[in-house]
Amino acid sequence: KAGVTQTPRYLIKTRGQQVTLSCSPISGHRSVSWYQQTPGQGLQFLFEYFSETQRNKGNFPGRFSGRQFSNSRSEMNVSTLELGDSALYLCASSWAEGLPTNEKLFFGSGTQLSVL
């Protein structure tokens, strides 16, 4: 069974550009969450999607957006990149449907974004 796949693995962008990251969840999983990981800040929650609907959003500016497609694949977009957006972006999928989330997350290997 294939794991969570994130592409690309590495990205280098310059300030002001925009970027789109992709995440393919484990087959059958309909919940996809996105996290930003930086040294010292741990894993910061960005948003969570289930069946193409954003159910929750973390405390990030509107430059960070996402979407989920009918096949559960998800993309996140960051517009007008800033130096501080340099981070590892992790996507995780799970079976989680209802409340509470008693399902474990399966993480992808992440996309390392560097903003110059």
Which residues contact another protein by CB under 8 A? 4, 31, 33, 35, 40-45, 48, 50, 55-56, 58, 90, 96, 98-110
What gap in Å lies between CA 107 and CA 86, rounded to an integer?
A: 19
> Least CB distance from residue 76 to another protein, whole Å?
16
By beta-carbon proximity to another protein, the closer residue of 17 and 57 is: 57
What gap in Å lies between CA 50 and CA 92, rounded to an integer?
A: 12
Is there a contact between 86 and 96 (Cβ–Cβ < 8 Å)?
no
What gap in Å lies between CA 21 and CA 10, rounded to an integer?
A: 10
> Least CB distance from residue 4 to another protein, whole Å?
8
Which uninterrupted H or E stretch holds 34?
A: strand 31-38
Dig out the tokens for 81 from the structure: 């990149």
By beta-carbon proximity to another protein, the closer residue of 80 and 109 is: 109
By beta-carbon proximity to another protein, the closer residue of 17 and 112 is: 112
> Least CB distance from residue 34 to another protein, whole Å?
11
